[in-house]
């Protein structure tokens, strides 16, 4: 993998980890928090989005189609993920989602895009997925737990959605030459429009969530699209089957923050999983 692609993946992992930690701090913001972040993204990225579209190689109709479908899938992703956090353990839902997504992406990238990441690349991808699952299995159990089954079901379900939008968006930016920034901007606009009828019915709640989470909403609105733009740009430089697992380095950052900042339990197993993820990323860099 090229140094440029590795650099983009590393920056994306940091941005992704930061906005997820902001989402965790937002607590019970739920769908309203997601909608506010989408609105911020749609507004902030509009000038750049228009400039990119003005110089785009792909037809406008192609951009509209790909962005609309991407926005629908991403909306489902956020809703299912938030629901998973509500009924299951974050320490299980998040890692399983981030592990299942790249695993399925690798499989279908090889089938649909005829990619051949090679033995080293596949081994690295397997290490990343294995490390993420180890972290996920460190979720607490017993009387204080919300239950393993719901956590696993929502984690895997979210992972399936991750694989879906990753493959769709990869096709948009590689095969159809849709600019990553334009695609993410259009997706954010779609998310904001789709979630508006649900959230704006309770404007007092919207104001409450915004007042309590201004910085968290800003972090989500700026860093969520930025992280994905970096990933999609990396997909133009390296195979999807390598980029998708590599971006899960964010799990390591979230795991460390969960231990050091949020004082979450079972640090030994989580750090072991993080070490396996790092080993996998190192192998991906050699692929």
Per-residue pLDDT of the chain (287 residues; tens, 9 = 90+): 788 998 999 999 899 888 888 887 776 678 899 999 999 999 999 999 999 999 988 899 999 999 999 999 999 998 888 777 767 666 667 777 777 777 788 788 888 888 777 888 788 878 877 887 777 665 554 444 445 677 778 888 988 999 999 999 999 999 999 999 999 999 999 999 999 999 999 999 999 999 999 999 999 999 999 999 999 999 999 888 788 777 777 777 777 776 777 676 677 777 787 778 778 777 776 76
Q: Note the pLDDT of residue 214.
A: 94
The C-alpha atoms of residue 13 and residue 191 are separated, in whole angstroms, by 22
Q: Note the pLDDT of residue 159.
A: 87
Are 104 and 240 in contact, with CB atoms under 8 Å apart?
Answer: no
The C-alpha atoms of residue 229 and residue 184 are separated, in whole angstroms, by 7
Sign of CA dihedral 190, 89, 257, 28: positive
Q: Note the pLDDT of residue 208.
A: 94
Q: Note the pLDDT of residue 118.
A: 82
The C-alpha atoms of residue 76 and residue 85 are separated, in whole angstroms, by 14
Q: Where are the beta strands (DSSP E) in the chain?
A: none
* Residue 107 structure tokens: 């499989």
The C-alpha atoms of residue 243 and residue 240 are separated, in whole angstroms, by 5
Q: Note the pLDDT of residue 142.
A: 47
SS3 234: helix
Q: How many CB atoms sit inside 10 A of residue 160's CB?
A: 14
């Amino acid at each position: 993998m090229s140094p440029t692609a590795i650099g983009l993946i590393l920056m994306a992992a940091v941005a992704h980890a930061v906005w997820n930690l902001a989402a965790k701090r937002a607590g019970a913001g739920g769908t309203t928090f997601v909608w506010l972040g989408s609105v911020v993204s749609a507004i902030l990225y509009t000038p750049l989005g228009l400039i990119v579209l003005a110089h785009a190689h792909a037809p406008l109709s192609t951009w509209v189609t790909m962005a609309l479908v991407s926005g629908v899938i991403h909306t489902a992703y956020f809703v299912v993920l938030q629901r998973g956090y509500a009924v299951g353990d974050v320490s299980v839902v998040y890692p399983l989602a981030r592990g299942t997504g790249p695993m399925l992406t690798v499989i279908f990238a090889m089938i649909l895009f005829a990619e051949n990441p090679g033995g080293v690349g596949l081994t690295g991808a397997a290490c990343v997925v294995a490390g993420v699952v180890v972290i996920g299995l460190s979720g607490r159990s017993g009387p204080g737990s919300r239950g393993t089954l719901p956590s696993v079901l929502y984690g895997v379900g979210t992972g399936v959605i991750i694989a879906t939008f990753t493959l769709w968006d990869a096709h948009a930016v590689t095969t159809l030459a849709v600019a990553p920034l334009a695609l993410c901007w259009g997706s954010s606009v779609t998310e904001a429009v789709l979630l508006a009828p649900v959230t704006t019915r309770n404007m007092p709640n919207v104001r409450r969530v915004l007042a309590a989470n201004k910085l968290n909403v800003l972090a989500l609105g700026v860093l969520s699209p930025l992280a994905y733009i970096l990933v999609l740009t990396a997909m133009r430089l390296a195979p999807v089957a390598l980029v998708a697992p590599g971006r899960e380095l964010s799990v390591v950052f979230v795991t460390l923050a969960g231990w050091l900042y949020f004082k979450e339990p079972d640090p030994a197993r989580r750090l072991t999983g993080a070490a396996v993820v790092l080993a996998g990323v190192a192998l991906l860099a050699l692929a």
